[in-house]
Chains A and B, each alone.
Chain A
Amino acid sequence: MTIPLDYTENKKPMLFQKQISESDSVIDVEKYRLDDFYDEMISSDQEVRPHYKNLSYELSKLSKADFMRKCKTVDQSMLMQGITFTVYNNDEGTERIFPFDLIPRIIPYSEWQAVEKGLEQRIRALNAFVHDVYHDQKILNEGIVPKELVFGAKHYRPEFCGCHVPKDIYIHICGTDMVRGDDGQYYVLEDNGRSPSGVSYMLENRSLMKHVFPSLFLKSGVLSVRDYTKNLLRTLQHIAPENVSEPNIAVLTPGVYNSAYFEHSFLARDMGVSIVEGRDLVVQDKKVFMRTISGLKPIDVLYRRVDDDFLDPDVFREDSLLGVRGLVEAYRAGNLGLANSIGTGVADDKLIYTYVPQMIKYYLDEDILLPNVETYLAMDDKQLQHILDNAEKLVIKPVNESGGYGICVGPHASKKEIAKTKESVKANPRNWIAQKPISLSRHPTWCEGKLEGRHVDLRPYVLYGDEVRITPGGLTRVALKKGSLVVNSSQGGGSKDTWVVKNES
């Protein structure tokens, strides 16, 4: 049966967009409140910054109702695609989407190039440091980084001293947490050199944005992020054992109940490699194999998303069911590439972090490009006193926690909380540092029907294989709660698509 031609006549495409009044449009620059913070989009004289002009123009043509419809589409699509993480607060974990704010964060290309240089410098220095720590320990012997800091670090693995790792690379995948202060300068908060997560959100956010705002991409000149998985694959291929020409690569996950499982399977699929759990692997004669329907097949490289502690019950935690017996033996024997390597946590220790500028000087003979946040170590008596005296002005952080837990933000904390934290610091100074609070930059964010400023950070992803490759942008995390500085997904954070744009106006 053919459909008569006039069937579609009633549905002519709209050629002219209807006019939208300012009060009805998504953005109203004049009424947007800066509250004395550095805003990524609006300058202090209430003007849209040049690299945001395109976006601002497009948003001014969009009505709130249309915008909210797009938000809904995106949320629904994330749920249906299973872009979720699991929160365990009752017997059966609930699946949540990581809230995604549709207003993108934009970084001009020239600014990004500077960031890129700084990140490359850091990862080179950090790798040189880890290599040194597990071999000659020159930097320790020369007293540039205190020995006791390294030997006392939670993630230091003395059993790996003298162990050769493929191509001498330890940190292959690094997610560096950065913020921008009210001076407009980027600072590094921490280098995540163990197994940084969130990169799948960076990729998915972009693909969702392209679906709901195709028009924005036409003229903005946004640099693509889609090479990330290809580059990750290259990085992993680079660390295959010497004699293997076509390495068999797999992603090692703790399993389907891990909160980041979506990301593990996303990366495996995009790279076209297997995703394996500990129970899929066996080690025989210091070689790792996976159990397939046609018998055992060798594995050459593992991108492991399992912590050191759980990797191999023979070497680390005996009670671990996630790991593979004999895996470390195979790694030591040079029959396996492992990303990241074991013991890299020594480089992202919050105390050792304070010595990154010295590392850069020592190994590269360069000055640091991306500065650290000014940090006080409680283990030093003088600095301890300073921390205790100024607790209400400082951000006090436990050294070995992640996910934003245990942080005491002095200016926002209650007296009781500060007192409690001070006690903990006194009881175990090695476990604590304090930083001057940086008034994190803010970004227009959709909050209950209008745009308001919310604090953001930035986590770019750095890959270190045959060369250093950095995906333009990264994951922008946003603290959705008003006034909050904590951007972690477990504590009310959301994310934004991050654009590095070449056409700057």
Chain B
Amino acid sequence: MMLCRVADSLFWMSRYMERAENTARMVEANLQLMLDSQTLGLGPVDEFWSPILGSMGDDIIFNKQYDQMNNQNVMDFLVFNRKNSSSVLSCVIAARENARMVRDQISDEMWEITNRLYHMLFKSSSYAVGHSELYDQLRQVREFSNLLVGATEGTYNHGTGYLFIKAGRFLERVEKTGRMLDSKKHLFLFDEADSTLIINLEAVLRACSASTAYQQTYDADLTLKNVLQLMILSREFPRSMLFSMNELQLAIHGISQCPITHFSNEAERMCGLMISKLNYASVEEIIKSDAHTFLMDIHHMTQKLTLKLSREYMFFDIVDPAAEAVSQ
């Protein structure tokens, strides 16, 4: 007998932690890229960050708070700014607040990991982009997120609560991987061998912890086609959109115990629709017909799915500021 509020908290705890991890990696990868910006000729700093903030729906909030889009401000906004509800710090606070609400449900390990990360991050103030501590902090966020996944696997009943946690995690991955790709959409039109395209693809892979997976699947040569194939359509890479959707489907059908050949609610129907869209897509078609539109379609469907899921099980209105920002 799981309370709706508990389901809600488990789902969002896991989603916020995943979001913190993804944002941390994204900032890290792109900052590293910026360190080389002069030799690489990446162009003005604001032209680099603008599409990234835009894809996250954060550009309006950013411009309200800062007068200049430089590395320091963008990093501060994405990592430490508490007025930005999707900053790493805000996400960790939200994840921990949700964990606290279900402290009696989750394992000690899960709680302590979340709580430790919170105390660690909460103490630190914003760093300069050149400061090595900053990268330590970002690494810790990634590590703790992985620890939480591990602790969930190893210490928590694989029952309904576990399925809500999984649903939250994979829904967030579909979202974030989509946005990460979409933030580089303006480069998709570049020539295959363009050096700016290549190093940006590299950043995308790093931002999704996908470099090793890429090398294992393809070879050292980065091509747009292969990157999109891996990030959108791979059935093996655990952060690809299709992989995440498949896991999400297993989770939500596990909750309702309805076989995946059928559907028992709107969330499941939406999930099936998205999977078939991804399952039978080809990367050539995606590139030819406009990757941006494809990604946006998926994005809108994820939002609908979240809403349906919430109506079905949690009876609470969704308060996900990041989602609201994009749909505006």
Nearest-Cβ distance from residue A120 to partner chain B, whole angstroms: 31
Min CB distance B318 to A, Å, is 16
Identify which of residues 248-292 in chain A touch chain B, using a CB-to-CB cut-off of 8 Å.
248, 256, 261-262, 265-266, 268-269, 274-277, 279-280, 290-292
Contact yes or no, A265 B315, CB < 8 A: no
| Complex interface bits, B246-279 against A, C-beta within 8 A gives 1, otherwise 0 | 0000000001000000000000000000000000
Q: How far is the CA of A297 from the CA of B2 in the complex (A)?
A: 10
Q: With contacts A279-B5, A293-B7 known, is A256 near B255, CB below 8 A? A: no
- B101 contacts partner chain A, Cβ-Cβ < 8 Å: yes
Task: Report Cα–Cα, A80/B112, bound state, in Å.
Answer: 6
Q: Is B104 in contact with chain A by the CB < 8 A criterion?
A: yes
What is the distance, in angstroms, from A333's C-beta to the closest C-beta of chain B? 23
Known contacts A81-B115, A82-B115, A291-B315: does B104 contact A266 (CB below 8 Å)?
yes
Query: Which chain B positions have C-beta within 8 A of A81?
Result: 108, 111-112, 115
Q: What's the Cα separation between A80 and B109 when bound, in Å?
A: 11
> Contact between B116 and A280 (Cβ–Cβ < 8 Å)?
no
Q: Which of B71-126 contact A (CB under 8 A)?
A: 97, 100-101, 103-105, 108, 111-112, 115-116, 119
Q: Which residue of B lies closest to A268 (CB)?
A: B104
State whether A292 touches B4 (Cβ < 8 A). Answer: yes
Quote the shortest CB–CB distance from A102 to chain B (angstroms). 21
Residues of A within 8 A of B104 (CB): 265-266, 268-269, 274-275
Chain A: CB-nearest residue to B122: A95
Chain B interface, >50% SS class: helix
Q: In the assembly, what is the distance between CA of A80 and CA of B104, in Å? A: 15
User: B119 touching A293 by the CB < 8 A rule?
Assistant: no
Question: How many residues in A have their beta carbons less than 8 Å from beta carbons of B?
Answer: 24
The answer to whether the Cβ of A79 comes within 8 Å of any Cβ in the partner chain is: yes
Q: Does residue B60 face the partner (Cβ distance < 8 Å to A)?
A: no
- Determine the chain B residues whose CB is within 8 A of the CB of A274 once the complex forms: 1, 3, 6, 104
The CA-CA distance from A297 to B116 in the complex, in Å, is 35
Q: Would A292 and B2 count as touching, CB distance under 8 A? A: yes
Verify A82–B2 contact, CB threshold 8 A: no
- Among B308-327, those with CB < 8 Å from A are 313-315
Which residues of A are found within 8 Å of B313, using beta-carbon distances?
A: 293
How many angstroms between the C-alpha atoms of A425 and B216 in the bound complex? Answer: 82
Give the distance to chain B from A40, nearest Cβ to Cβ, in Å.
33
With known contacts A256-B100, A268-B104, A269-B104, A82–B111 Cβ distance under 8 A? yes
User: Could you tell me the distance in whole angstroms from the C-beta of B107 to the nearest C-beta in chain A?
Assistant: 10
Tell me the complex Cα distance, A79–B314, Å: 31
Instruction: Scan residues 1-39 of chain B and give those whose CB is less than 8 A from a CB of chain A.
Output: 1-7
Instruction: State in angstroms the CA–CA spacing of A292 and B5 once bound together.
Output: 8
Complex: how many Å from CA A248 to CA B1?
10
Is A243 on the interface with B (CB-CB < 8 A)?
A: no
The reply to whether A256 and B97 contact each other, CB–CB distance below 8 Å, is yes
Report the separation of the CA atoms of residues A405 and B101 in the bound assembly, to the nearest whole angstrom: 29
What CA separation (Å) do A276 and B105 show in the bound complex?
12
Q: How far is the CB of A166 from chain B (nearest CB, A)?
A: 22
Asked if A291 and B1 sit within 8 Å, CB to CB, the answer is no
Report whether A256 and B101 are in contact in the complex, using a CB–CB cutoff of 8 Å: yes
Select B5's contact among A248, A268, A269, A277, beta carbons within 8 Å.
Answer: A277
- Asked whether, in the complex, the Cβ of B116 is within 8 Å of the Cβ of A80, the reply is yes
9 closest cross-chain pairs (CB), A and B: A269-B104, A265-B104, A265-B103, A268-B104, A293-B313, A291-B4, A292-B1, A256-B101, A297-B1
Chain A residues in the interface with B (C-beta under 8 A): 79-82, 248, 256, 261-262, 265-266, 268-269, 274-277, 279-280, 290-294, 297
Extra inter-chain contacts (12) besides given A274-B1, A274-B104, CB under 8 Å: A81-B111, A82-B111, A248-B1, A261-B100, A266-B103, A276-B3, A290-B1, A292-B2, A292-B4, A293-B2, A293-B4, A294-B2
12 of the cross-chain contacts (CB-CB < 8 Å) are: A79-B119, A80-B115, A81-B108, A81-B112, A82-B103, A265-B100, A269-B104, A269-B105, A275-B104, A291-B4, A292-B3, A293-B3
